[in-house]
Structure 1
Amino acid sequence: MCELFIMSPLQSTASDILIEPRAVDESRPLRIVVIGAGISGILAFIRLNQRVPNLDLCIYDKNADIGGTWLEANVIIQATGALNNRRWPNIPGLHDFGGKLLHSASWDVDYDHSLKWYSIQIVLGMLQQVAHIDHYVRSRTWIAPRFAREYLEQRGSELDNCEEVLHRRSGVVSLLIDSDSFLIDTFTAEEIKSFETDHQDFGRIKSEITKIDRSGIVIADGEHREVDAIVCATEFDTTHTPHFPITGRAGMTLATRWKQIPEIYLSVAVNGFPNYYTSWGSNTGLDGGNLLILIERQIDNFTQCIRKVQRDNIRALSMKANAVHLFTQYCDSCFAGTVIFPHAIEVVASPRWEDFDIEYVNNNPMSWFGDGWTQNEKLDQINVDYLDDDRVDFPQPAEIMHSVNIL
């Protein structure tokens, strides 16, 4: 348990200030735990290793091939995702069904689904391989129209030189071909044409399912449709509450904190839980574009927080309760008329330090200043990278600078 320490300038004297035996630019060693080895966990592993020196990183995952033995860490990153805890839909008689019952999140790869009649919410990947599919769906899928295509044509497709780029990364090419060859398969002309035409062996059913019996599905109008297999592509626990206890200050658990509403600042941090960050948290902008880019920006946000903790010798970086409350109010107001997280990538990319409370190691706000040395001096190293052209802040040529009147 960490106690908040606040020092007024009037309370301190020269004799009170502790000179820390550390360089001003020293990155103190940190242990970081990432919970989850999915997309967010992988991105966290990449970014943290790129940008955080003196790092001791451990990733925990529920699967047997990844694990760890730590009991303590300086920073916790929850990267468990939102679609990792599947459930069977609450439909009367579901488990009385006599055919094959499948879930999209736990697929039986050995099951032969050819020549079968299906009830399913996953269509495109199986349409060419089954005798018939009934697609039960409440409404049509909304897809944003394309935009700015004319600018892409003017610039030229960025895929034009993808082969050249991949040739420079031969290890990546071989890895993709060996492990994910299905990703580089292309559709034949016949397959593309089949996607654009109506299928007699496909039915879209919007009527509510009332029950399931041994041979099939009964819908609201009383019709009974016999099927060989049912695929459930719905029902996940998306409450964002972790499936393991996380306890913050004053003994408050995250489950209790989020019992009424999962309040979280910019989808990444919660007050009362210092040095704790979550990827793809509540209010993450799922409709804001490419999800991977947004997760990368969230990881960038964490990384900057971690670097500040390292360089400034900070013990705890905590969200202010008022910042969380104001963001919740903003969401309630903004999302009353839209589901789009406005400019999510720009908003999440960098932390706003004024929204954090900061507590320092040894309760010493001047500990960041160190003992008057730099790391290079202590280690007898010479670093002149600042002389490289890409590190020098050259002024722009006079002809492109704004005119300045000197009075």
Structure 2
Amino acid sequence: MADFVVPSTSRPESEAEHRLKGPVHAQRHVRVVCIGAGASGLLMAYKLQRHFANFSLTVYEKNPEVSGTWWENRYPGCACDVPSHNYTWSFEPKLDWSAVYASSREIFQYFNDFARKYGLHKYVKTKHQVEGAYWNHEKGGYDVKIRDLERNTAVSDHCDILVNAGGILNNWQWPAISGLNKYKGVLLHTANWDDKIDLRGKHVGLIGNGSSGIQVLPTIQPHVQQLTTFIREPTWVSPVQGLEQHVFSDHERLEFATKPNALLEYRRNVERGLNGQFGIFLKGTNTNNETEAYFRQQMHDKLKNPYLEERLVPNWHVGCRRLTPGVGYLEALGKENVNVVYGEIHEITERGCLCDNGKEYPIDVLICATGFNTSFKPRFPVIGPSGKNLQDVWKDEAQSYFGIAAAEFPNYLIFLGPNCPIGNGPVLSAVECQADYMCKLIDRFQTNNISQFAPKVEAVADFIAFKDQFMQKTVWHDPCRSWYKQRPDGPITALWPGSTLHYIEAMMEVRYDDWEIKYNGNRFAWMGNGYSQTELDPTADWAYYIREHDDDEPISRGRKLQIINRSGTMQGNAGVAFSGVDSKESNRTAEAKL
């Protein structure tokens, strides 16, 4: 009997047909494109490398170096407002941070060293900026258009799964003030700093009192001849975590490096303190009321100026805007060479700023600490299978699923998307659980004949409805001007409706009933040729389930969590109680720990 030969003109083998020849859950090749090599993009590369085989990855980064915002932001005084030992990956401590609040240069070094240690640079193409992503109806996945910035040439790529790790605080913007192009002096933005500019002996103007403005002012104040700061609204300024700035001594760094568990316990104590603060953001709690009273007193004590106190201390709740540790900021406002101009800038002139008080303020250097475009709308077209552009869909309000995906845009995942814990807890912990969640989706995609996965429209709608209802009882709902929302009375698009610990637990398992999943062929093609993965491994124990006692991992969610969070190992954490009513005694305990 002659062998059966497939004619060369036969159709290509489908994904489902190919799977029928292999074992259950065969791992097909997956092509991933990641946008951005900042902290999130580097973590994604690390996770894929550590947990997956049979994949390819390219990370496109517009900057000449990795580390994203920590490479871009290098203005004087630039630092992180999260304690340095807790602005690391949970599994990757740094022994020799210089101080409690580290500079942007140190943080850049941390992420750059992380990439070097694990060989992540091999995945990264720097000086490459993504300009668009378009769903491919024949192959599935996205055709990605990239600009090689060094050669100014167009580059094309294709991926099964597209991960946007571009971040939210990296698309800096000039202030919306007329006449900016008329100014004849030196114009700077904190996120596009020119290191060659010497501010010594200059009359410097500073627009903005957000995080960047609060950091840059006390740093440059001792070196400039005159500093005029333009402030249009109040803001709460104080060390948020109860941790004042402190330079670590040689002895402290030596103990962190050599004493068993010294650094681990320090990091855990700080993290417990950070995770015990959620009550600050809930209206009417003792935590919020006492924190506001403390902040108010601190600001009055440091300003010592009735005029400034009246204008700079807010009348809305603590936490409505992002809380910023103002190391030396309030004290600097009272220095002899600092002039505070409160109100709106009417226009920028050739010489300086013309304000709504009718006065023009001539200045040599104008620094704009005016932040970023925080609309969450992608900076480039993302076109899904329906032909819709996510830029248009999110034009008025960005609505995501748990901050990681958008309905009707399959195989597209987002780090730090709308409504995840960006400003209400340890952010890198949230990034880690996002990466793990994405890896679970990628694993499901790789080991099944899935063609598309995206959150269901109704799941996103229900999540947004839940979020909006929850936010009404938070301080973020107050009518302050904040990047957490696009307008003072608008919906809160940046924050998660809960604490960071709440987010981590919500993200532990993928709720596949919230996802729209489409298959290539029969959905059970993943079952393959009847063989298991174990039978393909001659070094595996083919009777691994035969035991002398039950050592299974917990099945129920509650028992799993008790193992993960080491339930029973603590005497009692401080913070908000289960009922949502906090304890004054617990708050005092938290402050004592910090």
Does TM-score exceed 0.5, indicating one fold? yes
Q: Is the 8 A contact 1:139 1:206 kept in 2?
A: no
Q: Answer whether contact 1:37 1:79 (CA < 8 A) is retained.
A: yes
Work out which of the residue numbers 401, 406, 409 in structure 2 matches 1:273. Answer: 409
Identity %: 28
2: CA distance, partners of 1:36 / 1:112: 31
Contact 1:314 1:358 in 2 (8 A): yes
Match of 2:518 among 343, 359, 362: 359
Which residue identity is paired with 2:449? N
Instruction: After TM superposition, give the deviation of residue 256 of structure 1 in Å.
Output: 2.6
Candidates 229, 235, 246, aligned match of 1:140: 235
Taking the TM superposition and a 5 Å limit, the aligned residue runs for 1:194-209 are: 198-209=334-345
Mapped to 2, the partners of 1:40 and 1:394 lie a distance apart of 30
DSSP-derived class of the 2:24 partner: coil
Q: Provide the aligned length of Structure 1 versus Structure 2.
A: 346
Q: Once the 2 structures are TM-superposed, how far is the Cα of residue 394 of structure 1 from its aligned partner?
A: 8.3
Partners of 1:201 and 1:269 in 2: CA distance: 49
User: Once superposed, what is the RMSD of the aligned Cα atoms?
Assistant: 3.5
Q: Quick one: distance in 1 between partners of 2:42 and 2:182?
A: 39
C-alpha separation between the residues in 2 aligned to 1:332 and 1:144?
29
Q: Which amino acid aligns with 2:171?
A: N
1:345-385 alpha-carbon deviations (Å, 9 max, x no partner) = 3334442111012222x322112222222345335444699
Alpha-carbon separation, structure 2, partners of 1:369 and 1:393: 24
Match of 2:39 in 1: 39
The CA distance in 1 between the partners of 2:197 and 2:218, in whole Å, is: 18
Q: 1:38 to 1:142 in 2, by over 3 A?
A: same
Name the CA distance, whole Å, in 1 between partners of 2:451 and 2:197. Answer: 53
Equivalent residue for 1:50? 50
Provide the residue aligned with 2:222 in structure 1.
128
Aligned to 1:220: 356
Structure 1 130/259 Cα, relative in aligned 2: closer, same or farther at 3 Å? same
Q: Which amino acid aligns with 2:473?
A: G
Deviations 1:185-217 (A, max 9, x none): xxxxxxx88986742223333311112222222
Which of these residues, 501, 513, 532, is aligned with residue 374 of structure 1? Answer: 532
Give the letter aligned to residue 127 of structure 1.
Answer: Q
Distance 1:393-1:60 versus aligned 2 partners, 3 A rule: same
Report if aligned partners of 1:298, 1:349 keep a CA contact under 8 Å in 2.
Answer: no
What is the CA-CA distance between 1:300 and the residue it aligns to?
Answer: 1.7
Q: Which residue of 2 aligns with 1:155?
A: none
Counterparts of 2:18 and 2:55, CA distance in 1: 26
Unaligned segments of structure 1, at least 5 residues: 1-15, 150-157, 167-191, 397-407
Q: 1:29 corresponds to which residue?
A: 29
Judged with a 3 Å threshold, the aligned counterparts in structure 2 of structure 1 residues 125 and 301 are, in CA distance, closer, same or farther, namely farther
CA distance in 2: counterparts of 1:314 and 1:162, whole angstroms: 47
Structure-1 separation of matches of 2:17 and 2:166: 42
Give 3-state SS (helix, strand or coil) of 2:357's partner: coil
**By how many angstroms is 1:108 displaced?**
0.6
**How far did residue 143 of structure 1 move?**
5.4
1:125 maps to a residue whose letter is: T
State the shift of 1:326 in Å: 0.5
**TM-score, scaled to structure 1:** 0.74
Q: What corresponds to 1:107 in structure 2? A: 193
Partner of 1:95 in structure 2? 181
With 135-144 and 205-214 compared, the bigger mean Cα shift is at: 135-144
Q: Is the 8 A contact 1:267 1:281 kept in 2?
A: yes
Residue 53 to residue 88, structure 1, CA distance change in 2 (3 Å):
same
Q: Deviations over 1:53-98 (max 9, x none)?
A: 2221111122365248652211111111123222221212222222
Distance (Å, rounded) in 2 between the aligned partners of 1:219 and 1:328: 40
Judging changes above 3 Å, is the alpha-carbon distance between structure 1 residues 195 and 217 closer, same or farther for their aligned structure 2 residues? closer
Displacement after TM superposition at 1:294 (Å): 1.8
Distance in 1 between residues matched to 2:30 and 2:258, nearest whole Å: 39
1:241 offset after TM fit, Å? 1.7
Aligned equivalents of 1:114, 1:350: Cα separation in 2: 55
Q: Which amino acid aligns with 1:29?
A: H
- Alignment counterpart, residue 117 of structure 1, candidates 192, 197, 203: 203
The one-character-per-residue Cα deviations of 1:124-181 (angstroms, maximum 9, x if unpaired) are: 332333233223232123557547x9xxxxxxxx988532389xxxxxxxxxxxxxxx
Give, as a single letter, the amino acid of the residue that structure 2 aligns with 1:294.
A
Cα 1:347/1:354, change in 2 over 3 Å: same
DSSP-derived class of the 1:105 partner: helix
2:468 corresponds in structure 1 to 332
Range 68-77 or range 85-94, more displaced = 68-77
Tell whether the 8 Å contact from 2:19 to 2:526 is kept in structure 1 after alignment.
no
8 Å CA contact 1:52, 1:306 repeated in 2? no
Corresponding position of 1:317: 453
Deviates more, 1:261-270 or 1:281-290: 281-290
Give the whole-Å Cα distance in 1 for the aligned partners of 2:452 and 2:436. Answer: 19
Partners of 1:18 and 1:27 in 2: how far apart? Answer: 11
The TM-score with structure 2 as length reference comes to: 0.52
Whether the 8 Å contact between 1:87 and 1:237 is mirrored in structure 2 is yes
In the alignment, which residue of structure 1 is the partner of 2:420? 284
Whole-angstrom distance in 2 between the partners of 1:128 and 1:276 = 48
Structure 2: distance between partners of 1:115 and 1:307 = 59
Contact conserved, 1:268 with 1:277, CA < 8 A, in 2?
Answer: yes
Relative to 1, partners in 2 of residues 1:258 and 1:196: Cα closer, same or farther, differing over 3 Å?
closer
27 and 141 in structure 1: CA distance in 2 versus 1, 3 angstrom threshold: farther
CA distance in 1, matches of 2:543, 2:395: 51
Amino acid at match of 1:85: N
The CA deviation string for residues 22-72 of structure 1, in whole angstroms up to 9 with x for no partner, is 222432211011111222212211222222222211111223652486522
For the structure 1 residues 385 and 277, does the alpha-carbon distance in structure 2 shift closer, same or farther, using more than 3 Å as the test? farther
Question: Does the 8 Å contact 1:117/1:132 carry over to 2?
Answer: yes
Does 2:505 match 1:346? Answer: yes
Relative distance call for 1:89 and 1:378 in structure 2 (3 A) is same
- Establish whether residue 164 from structure 1 lines up as the match of residue 300 from structure 2: no
